[in-house]
Amino acid sequence: MAWRDLFSGLTGGRRAKDRGADHDPFTRPEVVEATEPDGLALALDEIEAAALEVYASNGLPDQAGHYRRAPSETEWRFLGADMTPEARFALALEHPPEQGWRFARLQDLGARSDRADVREASRLLNDVAEFRLARRGVLTQDHLLMAMELGGAWRALQDARAIRTSQLNLSVPRKPRARRDKPVSEA
């Protein structure tokens, strides 16, 4: 067995003759859905869930998709999970923003909130969605920076969970009792 075959077997690759004759080495492989989520996908899910908790606690929807709000309403109404750009444009023509209609994706609902935590949740939801999309294509330097920021958010989330589930009780320290100084006996 050649070293290439051994290395290919260790890394999970397939030998060229196993791929078939129709394989073109210069084309990108189609997106293959993993049977089990990897660590990065799980971390992105945790960040998204935490951001959606912030949305829910502030009265915003937490279902992925497109929303609209009529001029006289305060709540966002779900339109659909997937809408084509043509359908969104047609809705905007039927209900113009000049008359007070608003349309947004879930991740954009909190972007203009008065609350900083809702704006941050919106930013995280946008970053998670963009990073998931980028994982299917070519990652750039901006995606690396985004991944680092998401990693910081994930670490903060983990730390916050550790504090919430901790058995440690923090309290104000008591005043120390007055000590009586005993004379030191000489031996």
How buried is residue 3: exposed, middle or buried, by Cβ count under 10 Å (0-12/13-18/19+)?
A: exposed
pLDDT digits (tens, 9 = 90+) for 102-137: 889 999 999 999 999 999 999 999 999 998 988 888
State the CB neighbour count (10 A cutoff) for residue 158: 12
Q: What is the pLDDT of residue 24?
A: 59
Residue 46 pLDDT > 70: yes
Q: What is the pLDDT of residue 176?
A: 76
CA distance 164 to 79: 36
CA distance 43 to 109: 22
Q: What is the pLDDT of residue 94?
A: 92
Question: What pTM does this model have?
Answer: 0.64
**Of the given ranges (6-20, 36-50, 164-178), which has the lowest mean pLDDT?**
6-20
CA distance 120 to 110: 8
Q: How confident is the model at residue 8 (pLDDT cuts 50, 70, 90)?
A: very low
Residue 187 pLDDT > 90: no
Q: Residue 104: beta bridge partners?
A: 67
Q: What is the pLDDT of residue 9?
A: 43
Please tell me which of 18-22, 32-36, 87-91, 135-139 the model is most confident about, judged by mean pLDDT.
87-91
